[in-house]
Amino acid sequence: MRSVEEQQARVTAAAMAPRPIRVAIAEAQGLMCAEEVVTERPMPGFDQAAIDGYAVRSVDVLGIGGIGADPEETSAPAAGEVTLPVIGSIEAGTRTPARLQPRQAARVQTGAPMPTLADAVLPLRWTDGGESRVRVLRGVRSGAYVRRAGDDVQPGDVAVRAGTIIGAAQVGLLAAVGRERVLVHPRPRIAVLSVGGELVDISRTPGNGQVYDVNSYALAAAARDAGAEVNRVGIVDSEPTKLREVVESQLGRSEIVVIAGAVGGAAAEAVRAVLSELGEMEVARIAMHPGSVQGFGQLGEEGVPTFLLPANPVSALVVFEVMVRPLIRLSLGKRQPMRRVVQARALSPISSVAGRTGYLRGQLMRDQDTDEYLVQALGGMPGESSHLLATLAEANCLVVVPSDVEQVRTGETVDVAFLAQRG
């Protein structure tokens, strides 16, 4: 029996990063940048006012009321104050250059271009707010409240580096340097299929001996949550010719293929026989529960990672979480493909299977007084049904029980992996 870590190593070694594509920056969020974005222009491209106020020459207001005095002070104006004529108002977006003469001021808005000769902005609160003439209550130093051309980025600077995950700040920076599109590693494409003669789609009413196809919907949702671009193929006929045709078509357009219901039983053996014609496929027992029996291989000319998951929806989702999700996260360029793990104190006994790592549904909570994590197991213990999808829907974590532990007593600590946050 292979350990979980050994199987994960085999899976992650087969990661396929999609070929980079160029997308609009509005569509790039969450993706990994595939190029060095080099700035061609300075940012900002001109000297601009950082706040609303008056553009002045700092030499004209030196020593007035104490340079850099507390702007919240409301004491009477100090001796030596000056009054400057206001030559006009400069708004953000003004394209006509203005020129300031000695002992003059110009009213400026935040982001407005600074007039020639002006080297500082006098905040409104340090003046009387005059329109034709302004009384200066405090002085400013040269460069105060001015964003100089190139303060943020100089031509030739790298705005976004290759390998960076593009977030809100990177999208803003790309827009600021005038980039409409950027080269990124796209979301990995994943195809999700279900096999099984007992399956019917949710648009039909199950007959005697039939059940709804839960897996293709649940696994497709899990893949989207992980960040993949999903093609839910749905139920596939297990007749060899038809099955091969569908799988081959998906191998040509996917970086990952997931087939549920293809382990266990004679029908699954027939499926594996077809898949073995397309490449290397191995079904093995992995030291975990639920979902110990699972398949993995690389099919098609490109060696596309392909997973065979159990028919039991809970087992299929757990195997997806432990094996498939990390592969998707690696393909997205995530440095940490695994879920965050914390230690929590068990609120009740938790039983596991000897020799297998347990991934058991649980509810994680926090003690308001001690800030300690607490966990309540929700089912899936030995002897209980592992088919209870309702308990998985209630779970917000997986309790990870080591393979050498059969019993976690009340009050003992255990590792807990966060699942996706619910709205």
Domain containing 392 — which CATH number?
Answer: 2.40.340.10
Q: 220 with 246, same domain?
A: yes
CATH of the domain at 28: 3.90.105.10
User: Under 8 Å CB-to-CB from 32, ≥6 apart: which residues?
Assistant: 163, 164, 165, 166, 184, 185, 332, 333
- The per-residue pLDDT for 57 is 94
- The per-residue pLDDT for 28 is 93
Q: 205 with 328, same domain?
A: yes
Q: 216 with 298, same domain?
A: yes
Phi first, then psi: what are they for 41, rounded to 5°?
-130, 155
Q: With CA atoms as reference, report the closest residue to 407 among 386, 372, 377, 363.
A: 377
Q: Specify the 3-state DSSP secondary structure of 97.
A: coil
Contact between 101 and 146 (Cβ < 8 Å): no
CATH of the domain at 73: 2.170.190.11
Beta bridge partners of 48: 113, 147
Last residue of a domain, one of 288, 303, 332: 332
Q: 290 with 325, same domain?
A: yes
pLDDT digits (tens, 9 = 90+) for 254-294: 999 999 988 877 777 888 889 999 999 999 999 999 999 99
Beta bridge partners of 304: 299
User: How far apart are the C-alpha atoms of 138 and 63, rounded to whole Å?
Assistant: 8
- The per-residue pLDDT for 193 is 96
**Quick count: other Cβ atoms within 10 Å of Cβ 405?**
15
- The per-residue pLDDT for 70 is 47
Angular region, 225: left φ>0, alpha ψ -120 to 50, beta rest? alpha
Q: Count of H helices and E strands in the chain?
A: 8, 28
Contact between 286 and 9 (Cβ < 8 Å): no
In angstroms, the Cα distances linking 324 to 9, 74, 213, 256, 263 are 12, 64, 20, 9, 16
Q: What is the residue-wise DSSP string for 102-141?
A: TT-EEEE-TTPBPPBT--EEEEGGGB---SSEEEE-S---
Q: 29 with 173, same domain?
A: yes
- The per-residue pLDDT for 77 is 43
pLDDT digits (tens, 9 = 90+) for 98-108: 889 999 999 99
Q: 256 with 270, same domain?
A: yes
Q: Which residue has the tokens 């029908």?
A: 267
Phi first, then psi: what are they for 81, rounded to 5°?
-65, 155
- The per-residue pLDDT for 80 is 59
β-strand 158-160 against 37-38: which pairing, if any? antiparallel
End-to-end C-alpha distance for the chain, whole angstroms: 39
How many domains does the chain contain in total?
Answer: 4
Q: 345 with 323, same domain?
A: no
Q: 191 with 180, same domain?
A: no
Helix (H) or strand (E) holding 249: helix 240-251
Q: 95 with 129, same domain?
A: yes
Beta bridge partners of 376: 363
Q: 28 with 170, same domain?
A: yes
Q: 246 with 304, same domain?
A: yes
- The per-residue pLDDT for 73 is 43
> Is residue 423 a part of any domain in this protein?
no
- The per-residue pLDDT for 379 is 66
Q: Which residue has the tokens 């671009």?
A: 229
Query: Which residue stretches of the chain have pLDDT < 70?
Result: 65-80, 379-392, 420-423
- Range of the structural domain that residue 169 is part of: 24-43+152-185
Q: 131 with 174, same domain?
A: no
> Which two three-digit tokens encode residue 408?
């976690």
- The per-residue pLDDT for 233 is 95
